[in-house]
Amino acid sequence: MSVPGAWYLTLAALLFTIGAVGLLVRRNVLVMFMCVELMLNAVNLTFVTYARMLNDIGGQAVVFFTLVVAAAEVVVGLGIIVSIYRRRPGATADDITLLKG
């Protein structure tokens, strides 16, 4: 028994919507960062679903490169977040100007 591809696409759309709303509504930098990661995972799920539906490996190759870029984003993003929180522990997204020279 196989799950239809439309269910995976619906789940990906739901995850992307949750991530987008969380990114727009929340002011905590860590939560915003996690919402961006949730959106990236929703896009990866879409790529894998279409790759399975079309019997093409290209979508899975794109997911591999997206995961590599996401890993680099995590390294840079967490470095920026840590530097903000060192200066002000209760920092929000509006406090990004603290990093100006």
Q: What is the CATH number of the domain that holds 53?
A: 1.10.287.3510
CA atoms within 13 A on the CB side of 24: 6
Tell me if 99 is assigned to some domain. Answer: no
Tell me if 14 is assigned to some domain. Answer: no
Number of compact structural domains in the chain: 1
Range of the domain at 60: 27-89
pTM of the model: 0.84
Tell me if 76 is assigned to some domain. Answer: yes
Residue-wise pLDDT tens digits, 83-96:
888 887 877 877 77
Tell me if 16 is assigned to some domain. Answer: no
Residue-wise pLDDT tens digits, 19-41:
999 999 988 888 888 999 999 99
Sequence-distant (6+) residues with CB within 8 A of 34 are 22
Residue-wise pLDDT tens digits, 49-101:
999 999 999 999 999 999 999 999 889 988 888 888 888 787 787 777 766 76
Instruction: Check residue 16 and give its pLDDT.
Output: 98
Which among 11, 8, 40 has a CA at the least distance from the CA of 23? 40
